[in-house]
Chain A
Amino acid sequence: MPAARARRTTAGRVVRWCVAILAMLTAGIGTFSPGRSVAGGGAPAPAGAPEVDTALVVSIDVSNSVDEHRYKLQIEGIAAALEDPGVIEAILNGPQGGIIFSLVAWADRPKIALPWMRIASRNDALAVAQAIRAMPRHDGEFTCLGQMLRFVSDKIVPQIPAKALRVIVDVSGDGRDNCNAAEPIGHVRDELVASGVTINGLPILEGREAATLAPWYRDNVMGGPGAFILPADGFEDFGRAIRQKFVIEISGAPASQRNAAKRPARSFPERSVEVLGRVEADRLVLALEPEQPR
């Protein structure tokens, strides 16, 4: 018996050794391919001091589950949020006094629905809201969230037209990625985060995925400094959620950068938080989890 055990041990050791080498080398090939950019690399940012506080990319789900009514709720919700005095105050109260805003519609293929627009005044905000309401209807079939993030990483972020203190991507939707993408969504999320982007999530809790979507967004979508998710209780609640979300993320500039001469911005924790739960009557009901040490 001892001899047999010795033989199994030797053979097993050899196999384990081979599996370990195979795993290491496969991982190496997966992360390095000729021409693959190093995480965090990118086009040189526009020279000079930051011009805006935030470059905000809002991405909305226009897949098959988003019918005409739900689409309008999203569009109207975003437009109304940009007209909200609280949101406008957050936009104008940052150290640079403005943001740039873009909107991406995504389903099978992502598409720039609204190119970059600068918001540095109330009139600017109202103009962007009007432009959003005037956008042609976008629709699609599948929920290719990973492809959307890849699109943002490859084509949106490198072409941000102004230097921003922060780059934030808003992701909202009512379902998980269902596109069988070759690239795991977490991989492209991590790549975006590594390049300095914050991804906030707004899962729309309606339908058969309502019970599981928020945790999925937390695990697969949310990422970066100060990232959070803020669920909407269905499409009817989207307008409320997006407005609150804008206030939190736009006013989330580090305190040291806020212009003391301006009206004080609302105070929000500077550490990364995960927001779970409803916002009730303009009070933010938070379930806070402190940022994990890096």
Chain B
Amino acid sequence: MRARAIRNAGRVAGAMLASLVLIATDRLALAADLTAREVTEALVRARSGSPADFSGKDLRFLDLAGLDFGGARLANAALFGVDLTDANLRGADLSGARLDRAIIIRADFSGANLSNAIMLRPTVYTTLAADWSDAPKFTGADMRGFRAMAQLDGADFSGADLTGANFTPFEIRPGQGTVSTLARNLLRGCNFTGALMKDADFSWALFTFAKLANADLSGAKLVKADLSKADLRGADLAGADLTSADLDGANLTGVRGLDTVKGLSFVLNLDKTIQ
């Protein structure tokens, strides 16, 4: 009887210690390298000297809303779930950074280096109504090789370099093959005026009312993209793949390279374009 009591007590102790291990593991796994306050202090110190350097740092889930990261180094930083609402990231180096699930409401990435960065399913709007004025800015940003799966309606990509960027809804998951967790990237009303989109893959993207005037879309993939009512005046479409793309009401005035577009015979509503 005494032995049974001790065994029972031991089982309770074992369960408690197992819970403790789980708690500790969970807390350590979620812990960022820095606190939000430490990030703020580093940014303040950097004002009088070299840029703040958070390269390679794990800043996941931190509330960094409203902070001024202008020119800061965040290359290869883990920014999973970070709140960057109203943050200033102008000229920041975010090359190779992971911004999955980040909150980027009104964030300013103008002139930032986002080459080879990944942004899957960020939060872009304050409410479910998706007010386009909440959309972030990527004006003039270096987004070569950028990977996104997002609703980014209203975002500003004017003058950005999106060469080789991937805005398809497909992911390759080991053991699962190619999966799609988002029907299509939503880029309605986005401003791509003068953007470099050479060899980028925007297949299935929704570009309704988007501004693509003078954009370089040479070699880009726009398979099944919806470009209805889009402004493509002066855009370069040489060698682009528009198989099954919808051009209903699109403005193709002054478009270049239309004669080298792939899949032109499968384009929808080509007769309803403005030329």
Contacts and interface: CB of A to CB of B under 8 A. Distances in A.
Interface of A: 3-4, 6-8, 10-12, 14-15, 17-19, 22, 25-26, 29, 33-37, 42-44, 109, 111-112, 150-151, 153-155, 158-159
B63 A154 contact: yes
Given A43-B40, A109-B65, A159-B44, A36 B35 contact: yes
B130 interface: no
B23 interface: yes
Interface in B50-83: 63, 65-67
Given A26-B23, A42-B41, 12 more contacts: A10-B5, A10-B6, A11-B9, A14-B10, A22-B20, A33-B28, A34-B33, A35-B32, A36-B35, A151-B63, A155-B40, A155-B66
A169 to B, nearest CB: 15
A101 to B, nearest CB: 19
* The 7 A-B residue pairs with the shortest CB-CB distance in the complex, in nearest-first order: A43-B41, A14-B9, A154-B36, A18-B13, A11-B5, A154-B37, A11-B9
B84 to A, nearest CB: 13
Interface in B4-45: 5-6, 8-10, 12-13, 16-17, 19-20, 23-24, 27-28, 31-38, 40-42, 44-45
Contact of A22 (B9, B10, B16): B16
A37 B37 contact: yes
A236 B74 CA distance: 49
Contact of A33 (B5, B27, B63): B27
Interface of B: 1-2, 5-6, 8-10, 12-13, 16-17, 19-20, 23-24, 27-28, 31-38, 40-42, 44-45, 63, 65-67, 85
A35 B24 contact: no
A29 B28 CA distance: 9
A158 B5 contact: no
A19 B32 contact: no
A262 B19 CA distance: 63
Given A14-B9, A18-B13, A26-B20, A158 B44 contact: yes
29 contacts: A3-B1, A7-B1, A7-B5, A14-B9, A14-B10, A18-B12, A18-B13, A18-B16, A18-B17, A22-B16, A22-B19, A29-B23, A29-B24, A33-B31, A34-B33, A35-B33, A35-B38, A37-B35, A37-B38, A42-B41, A43-B44, A111-B66, A150-B63, A154-B36, A154-B40, A155-B36, A155-B37, A155-B40, A155-B67
Nearest to B40: A158
A7 B1 CA distance: 8
A42 B41 CA distance: 7
Among B13, B37, B63, B65: residue with most chain A CB under 10 A: B37
A159 B40 contact: yes
A22 B8 CA distance: 17
A104 B39 CA distance: 20
Contact of B13 (A6, A15, A25): A15
B5 A8 contact: yes
Contacts of B10: 14
B45 A43 contact: yes
Contacts of B85: 109
A240 to B, nearest CB: 33
Contacts of A17: 13
A208 to B, nearest CB: 28
A251 B220 CA distance: 67
Nearest to B45: A43
Contacts of B45: 43-44
B60 to A, nearest CB: 11
A15 B24 CA distance: 21
Contacts of A109: 65, 85
A105 B32 CA distance: 28
Nearest to A147: B63
B231 to A, nearest CB: 33
Among B8, B20, B40: residue with most chain A CB under 10 A: B40
Contact of B34 (A14, A15, A22, A35): A35
Contacts of A43: 40-42, 44-45
A67 B124 CA distance: 28
B40 A34 contact: no
Contacts of A34: 28, 31, 33
B16 A154 contact: no
Nearest to A19: B16
A14 B45 CA distance: 51
Contacts of A33: 27-28, 31
A39 to B, nearest CB: 11
A158 B24 contact: no
A158 B41 contact: yes
